[in-house]
């Protein structure tokens, strides 16, 4: 009896271990406090039981069952469990069906921000990630179209170039010959330039030395230039303070007055105009000078006609009543030849 009991316990333990191992291999821990959720997809190609359920790349559960929706056979109900006890799933979370580069399907839980949490057995919103080939086609389609346009453009360009080259082969040959000649000429010119630079290297060095000397002189004269500029600024400030407007107004007034004087001179009735333009005054002056000259010459020739000298102390001497000083001056004038010379 004792042996049968032991065999029974061993059998029960083996069956339990087998069951536990099967669930373990499926990713389920029957000893843990698992929570079950479900969602619905239109296609679950590649998704199987024991496919992982992840949150931010970390596996938190497995898919347990896939079956057709009894109300709509085009939909597939997917059941999965969450074996992370501390993971709370908000009601706005989304179960995204995605695949990696190898095509392995998994469910990625994108947790929402709602404060209401889902309970075990609740439905989770579903979303299908675009297939890798679809994403590649979506990214490559614009590139493909542009490549096709580029190939068509290149084909047209090649056709045009081929046509141009075919019709202008002789001209192209001449062009290449001319280009070759130009390159040879350019090489010869560079050789001559190199020779010229070598020959004139001394002069070039002298020029650079002179330029360096000039810059050194400018550097030494920097203070003088600064002083000169400062003086120029002082002069300009002084000119700025000068009443140029008043000076210009005074100059305008002086020009106006000078213009009035010139107008008065040009006036036919003015005295200055008559002095400048009337020849009568000039003729009268000449006549007066001639008469004075004749009178002086007559006085010098015949002084006794105009001067009487007292012999016996008479008081009446000369022409009328003339003082001695006037008589002496008249005698001096009569015998002074320089006076006549002035009027001759």
Rounded CA-CA distance 63/46 in Å is: 12
**DSSP β-ladder status, 58-68 and 105-110:** unpaired
pLDDT of 29 higher than 60:
no
42-78 per-position pLDDT tens digit: 988 888 888 899 998 898 989 989 999 999 989 999 9
298-311 per-position pLDDT tens digit: 777 776 666 554 44
CB 90 within 8 A of CB 112: yes
Q: Output the pLDDT for position 313.
A: 47
Cβ neighbors of 309 (< 8 A, separation 6 or more) are 317
Q: When comparing pLDDT for 56 and 13, which is higher?
A: 56
**Where does residue 74 rank: exposed (0-12), middle (13-18), buried (19+ CB within 10 A)?**
exposed
| Identity of the highest mean pLDDT range in 86-100, 231-245, 281-295 | 86-100
Structure tokens at 58: 């970390």
Instruction: Grade residue 167 by pLDDT with cuts at 50, 70 and 90.
Output: low
pLDDT of 341 higher than 60:
no
Q: When comparing pLDDT for 132 and 3, which is higher?
A: 3
- What is the average per-residue pLDDT within 5-21? 71
């Amino acid at each position: 009896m004792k042996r049968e009991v032991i065999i029974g316990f061993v059998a029960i333990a083996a069956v339990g271990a087998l069951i536990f191992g099967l669930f373990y291999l499926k990713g389920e821990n029957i000893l843990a406090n698992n929570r079950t959720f479900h969602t619905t997809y239109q296609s679950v190609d590649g998704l199987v039981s024991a496919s992982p359920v992840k949150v931010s790349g970390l596996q938190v559960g497995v898919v347990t069952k896939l079956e057709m929706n009894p109300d709509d056979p085009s939909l597939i109900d997917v059941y999965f469990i969450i074996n992370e006890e501390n993971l709370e799933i908000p009601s706005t979370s989304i179960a995204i069906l995605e695949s990696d580069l190898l095509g392995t399907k998994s469910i990625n839980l994108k947790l929402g921000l709602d404060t209401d949490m889902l309970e075990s057995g609740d439905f989770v919103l579903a979303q299908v990630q675009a297939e890798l080939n679809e994403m590649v086609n979506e990214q490559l389609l614009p590139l493909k179209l542009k490549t096709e346009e580029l190939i068509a453009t290149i084909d047209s360009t090649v056709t045009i170039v081929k046509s141009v080259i075919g019709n202008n082969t002789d001209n192209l040959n001449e062009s290449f010959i001319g280009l070759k000649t130009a390159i040879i000429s350019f090489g010869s010119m560079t050789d001559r330039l190199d020779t010229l630079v070598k020959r004139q290297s001394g002069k070039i060095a002298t020029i650079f030395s002179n330029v360096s000397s000039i810059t050194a002189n400018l550097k030494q004269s920097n203070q003088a230039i600064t002083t000169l500029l400062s003086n120029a600024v002082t002069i300009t400030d002084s000119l700025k303070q000068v009443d140029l407007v008043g000076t210009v107004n005074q100059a305008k007034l002086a020009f106006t007055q000078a213009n009035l004087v010139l107008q008065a001179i040009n006036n036919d009735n003015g005295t200055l105009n008559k002095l400048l333009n009337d020849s009568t005054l000039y003729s009268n002056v000449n006549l007066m000078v001639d008469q004075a000259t004749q009178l002086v010459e007559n006085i010098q020739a015949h002084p006794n006609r105009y001067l009487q000298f007292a012999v016996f102390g008479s008081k009446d001497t000369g022409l009328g009543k003339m003082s001695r000083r006037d008589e002496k001056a008249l005698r001096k004038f009569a015998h002074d030849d320089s006076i006549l010379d002035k009027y001759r």
